Structure 1
């Protein structure tokens, strides 16, 4: 809002009434702002009005003096007035010249003051902007610190999960090796049972042949036939027992095979979880390296335990 002449004059009157010098700076401070150019122009009119009000009153010589002095006194008075007017005219010219120079100086000072005030306002605006940027930078630093702490916690959690996955994988590996040993024992038992069954079948065939021969010779050797029949029954019972043993071994072998297959699937899932955990840890390490300042020592980063590479299927079978 522009400052009016009346406001400038009122401020100058207040300062003069308080006994203070109404300078441009004092008037601008009393107004709370404003252009030095406008204030200077209004103050020039104010000072002119004050000088006109304070100027002495010039009147003609009193009638008593004129009557007493007569014509001589009038001539002397006229000469004095002429001399005074001449001197006053010269002083007015000098005063006008000084006023003109003072006006130029005042105008230059007012322009300089306006320029300084504008530069000061710009500097204040720049300071406010820098303060806002500093506050925003501090907030960003705090946010990055929080994100860094969160990333460190996530990295620790991922490392913990990777350790758990590694322990689970090792445990599954031991279980697979144990079941593999059991399977080999079952295979050996099955081979032994097959050998026994083969021997029993051979005995059955042999006894069957002997039974046939005994039946043909039944009429001649009833006692031998009865004995052979008993031996054949025993052989059949042994063959049935061997068949049952073979079926039980086959069932155990199939159960062990299913358990080994389940363990292999569990191991594959554990390896997949370990791989994902390792990828998460690598990603977190990358994000942590991106937000950690370059001047931070590398030794201050939390250690990351890499998951052990799982063995091949062939190595497990071996």
Structure 2
């Protein structure tokens, strides 16, 4: 399934819709509204929305009587605060700051852990894709090698048949050569015998041509 595309505009839209519904936008419910998305990416855009959101809201104008009443209550409240109450408030503020700092530290650590997990998941996905590609290439290489082996075996068979043919031709040529040598030897011997016979006949002819002496 395709991953949800997280954009600034989409995060702003979902965060504003949740706010209009009276629900505080959080990273989880914004992710749910988008249909997924990286934790760190959604948080970055949501932080930007929170910074820009007060500027987008129009200030609420209270009636003058209500403003006057609030100012009166404020003066009464500050009038009731004494030094001890101020110290308690300051201590509470200090304790609250410490708790907030501790929570923020835990939040930062959690975000870092989430970032590492997302990076590791992305690395694992990339590694899996690389392995899948390598497997496809290995299968293709094996198929090509099989084809080459089949072609080589066929060629080897053709060469073996050709070698057998050449051996037969060589044996036949050798036989012809042997027969030709034997024929040449026989012709040579016959020629020599004919030469000897011719010489003999020539001798006899010469003897016959000589005049006979008187008896």
- Per-residue deviation, 1:45: 5.8
State how far apart, in whole Å, the 2-side matches of 1:146 and 1:126 are: 30
- Per-residue deviation, 1:9: 3.9
Tell me the equivalent position of 2:13. Answer: 10
> Structure 1 stretches (4+) deviating beyond 6 angstroms?
16-21
Q: Which has the higher contact order (CA 8 A, sep 6+)?
A: 1
Tell me the equivalent position of 2:134. Answer: 133
Q: Over residues 80-139 of structure 1, what are the superposed CA-to-partner deviations in whole Å (9 max), with x where a residue is unaligned?
A: x958xx699589735554443332222221222122212222222222222222222222
> Is structure 2 residue 187 aligned with structure 1 residue 181?
no
Summarize the alignment of residues 154-173 of structure 1 with structure 2, pairs less than 5 Å apart.
154-173=155-174
Tell me the equivalent position of 1:27. Answer: 30
- Per-residue deviation, 1:204: 0.7
State how far apart, in whole Å, the 2-side matches of 1:102 and 1:113 are: 16
Summarize the alignment of residues 283-294 of structure 1 with structure 2, pairs less than 5 Å apart.
none
- Per-residue deviation, 1:201: 0.6
> Is structure 2 residue 143 aligned with structure 1 residue 142?
yes
Taking structure 2 as the reference length, what is the TM-score of the superposition?
A: 0.65
- Per-residue deviation, 1:143: 1.8
- Per-residue deviation, 1:13: 3.8
Summarize the alignment of residues 194-273 of structure 1 with structure 2, pairs less than 5 Å apart.
194-209=195-210, 212-213=211-212
- Between the two proteins, the alignment pairs up a number of residues equal to 187
1:35 match: secondary structure: helix
Q: Residues 108 and 127 (structure 1 numbering): CA distance in 2 closer, same or farther, change over 3 Å?
A: same
2:15 match: secondary structure: helix
C-alpha RMSD of matched pairs (Å): 4.3
Unaligned runs of 5+ in 2: 55-65
